[in-house]
Amino acid sequence: MNSIVCIKQVPDTTEIRIDPVTNTLIREGVESIINPFDLYAIEEAVRIKEKFGGKVTALSMGPPQVEKALRDAVALGVDEIILLSDRKFAGADSWATSHTLSEAIKKIGEYDLIFFGQQAIDGDTGQVGPGVSAFLELPQVCFVKEIVEISENSVTVKRLMEEGFDVIQAPLPTVLSVVKDLNTPRLPSLRGKRLAKNTQLTVWNADDLGLDEKEIGLNGSPTQVVKIFSPKLDKEVEKLEGLTSEEAAERIYHRLKELGK
């Protein structure tokens, strides 16, 4: 049972800084980590390998420093790591990213399950998993909270919904986007850390995947960010003392009315 886990390296901070000229995140000087949602995807793929055999391949697209996130994935039980790195990939939106990842997955070849975290904490779109499934013309299930059963030809999962969950059976191969209810990610082992240092990293560029420059990166992105900014939070506090609950409610009502709320 071979699995591919698509992961992303994201800034390890809630203090996001934005370049006002390029409208992109400032990543310099900010430590990066594996996207937290992707850790659940890695854990589930490793558990499936431990139960059924096979291998787990971690795949990521980004600059050379993404190698660290991929090696961290090895420490968690991943067997092979592949980095898609090329200046031509820069500026890719979710469409162009999905296209590039799908071509890499075709090149990898043998797989039964393709895992994604439900979303990345920096972009937060949740579109790349569904995008890859569309490019590969594979079935896909989002919000997977539990894998109920895996057979030779299908996988049965529980999909988280607003009021409970759905039970869905999908033929293999298939794409699964998982939520944090799925499992508890393990910590890296000492043996895993040693393996991470010695595992060979495969790096593919646009030419290796036979990709047209017009279909990748900024050139292949139908959506472009016009402006991005951090919202300004203006807080105004008024303390009410010595009032009855009715008087306080009336004061709040009139204050909200003044503010146009």
Tens-digit pLDDT profile for residues 195-223:
999 999 999 999 999 999 999 998 888 88
Residue 251 falls inside a structural domain: no
The CATH number of residue 50's host domain is 3.40.50.620
What's the pLDDT at 241?
85
Per DSSP, the three-state class of 53 is coil
Count CB-CB contacts under 10 A for residue 97: 26
Residue 125 falls inside a structural domain: yes
Residue 257 falls inside a structural domain: no
Q: Cα–Cα distance between 212 and 99 in angstroms, integer? A: 11
Per DSSP, the three-state class of 235 is coil
Tell me the torsion sign for CA atoms 58, 115, 135, 156.
Answer: positive
What's the pLDDT at 226?
74
Residue 146 falls inside a structural domain: yes
Is residue 16 a contact partner of residue 155, using CB atoms and an 8 Å limit? no
Q: Which two tokens stand for residue 255?
A: 């204050």
Q: How confident is the model at residue 253 (pLDDT cuts 50, 70, 90)?
A: confident
Bridge partners of 157?
Answer: 147, 168
What's the pLDDT at 256?
83
pLDDT digits (tens, 9 = 90+) for 108-144: 998 999 999 998 887 678 889 999 999 999 999 999 9
Residue 261 falls inside a structural domain: no
Question: Residue 133 is inside which H or E element, if any?
Answer: helix 128-136
Residue 230 falls inside a structural domain: no
If one counts the domains in the chain, the total is 1
Residue 134 falls inside a structural domain: yes
Sheet containing strand 80-84, strands side by side:
164-171, 154-161, 140-150, 174-178, 113-117, 3-6, 56-61, 80-84, 201-204
Domain residues for the domain of 202 are: 3-215
Mean pLDDT of 137-153: 95
Instruction: Tell me the CA distances in angstroms from 132 to 81, 126, 135, one per residue in order.
Output: 18, 11, 5
Residues making up the chain, counted from first to last: 261
Q: Cα–Cα distance between 90 and 27 in angstroms, integer? A: 14
Could you tell me what percentage of the chain is helix, strand and coil, using 3-state DSSP and rounding each to the nearest 5? 35, 25, 40
Residue 239 falls inside a structural domain: no
With 80 as the cut, is the pLDDT of residue 66 above it?
A: yes
